[in-house]
Amino acid sequence: MNISRLQDPANAPIGVFDSGIGGLSIVRELLKLLPDEALFYIGDQANCPYGNRPAEEIVAFSREISHYLIAQGAKIIVVACNTVSAVALSHLRSIFPETPFVGMVPAVKPAVQITRSGVVGVLATQTTISGRLYQEVVSQCAGGKRVISQPSPGLVDQVEAGDLDGPKTMALLEFYIKPLLAAGVDTLVLGCSHYPFLIPAIRHLAGDSLQLVDASEAIARQTTRVLDREGLRRQGGTAPETVYATTGDPGRVRFALGCLLGKPGRVRGLRWLDGTIEDGSREEEQAELCRHGHSAAGVRVP
């Protein structure tokens, strides 16, 4: 990759984006594996969920978000969304050839390797399941094992609402998972970055005998490999700040950071205007700083 566009590429941030807060499951693993790296995360909550949107909309959203992250100096972009990876990853790589992209695909291969019953279930959005990338992975990796693909509308909305184990969430999980268990599934692939936050609820419903396969850690490892391959690893120094941004309500993301990652963070407000992403108003940034107990005076907002 040619990254000459960056003056100091090793110290540039890793860009990460998702349709909402689900990609924080990837951020969690990146922070563990790459603590010296700066991250810039965008959740497109104004348009969440992506799973029921036309492909052309998903491509347009992801193209503009990637453009924004590159403009912010991202040295690599992690597409922390299975739906975007299924629909738009090849497009993003073609129009931004100087930027490495790491995408996601439901972890069918490792699931097939560990199943004892020979039946694997996959929870994912309909768009992911219908995508060519997912179909190719199943075709190449099933190895004679049965793979049952289960669309699961509504779960992303529950995670976005912060409802990880309420009655509606549990009812949806039971509706999707119980038929899989009845079909002999002993290994369940979490095919959406929102779903790792539902693991305790799934465990409560299905017990410990159901093996759960979450690709988050594998995505973090792949990001590390790409950084090393491209010579982009940051080497120590002052601990960098992770920047969080949303096209929706910053308050919801602040709440999610506390609940899902167990740590606070400053959240930048973004907005869509005529198909492009713009920074939120100066007043919004100042209010955000004040909510964190800092004086807005004299603070430089990037």
pLDDT one-digit tens code per residue, 192-204: 999 999 999 999 9
> Would you name the residues annotated as active-site residues?
81, 192
For residues 215-228, average pLDDT: 96
Report the range of poorest mean pLDDT among 55-59, 103-107, 138-142, 238-242.
238-242
Largest CA distance in the chain: 64
Q: What secondary structure does DSSP assign to 156-167, as a single string?
A: HHHHHTT-SSSH
Backbone angles phi, psi at 189, to 5 degrees: -90, 130
CATH architecture of residue range(s) 9-104+218-291 = 3-Layer(aba) Sandwich (3.40)
Pick 108-214's CATH classification: 3.40.50.1860, 3.40.50.300, 3.90.1300.10, 2.40.440.10: 3.40.50.1860
Name the average pLDDT for the chain: 90
23: confidence class by pLDDT, cuts 50, 70, 90: very high
Condensed to tens digits (0 to 9), the pLDDT of residues 167-189 reads 999 999 999 999 999 999 999 99
Predicted TM-score (pTM) of the model is: 0.88
Q: How far apart are CA 217 and CA 104, in angstroms?
A: 11
Q: What is d(CA 87, CA 129) in angstroms, rounded to the nearest whole number?
A: 10
| 3-state DSSP assignment of residue 95 | helix
Per-residue pLDDT, 259: 86
> What ranges do the domains of the chain cover?
9-104+218-291, 108-214
pLDDT score for 240:
80
Name the CA dihedral angle for 103, 108, 113, 116, rounded to a multiple of 10 degrees.
150
Residue with tokens 């990254």: 3
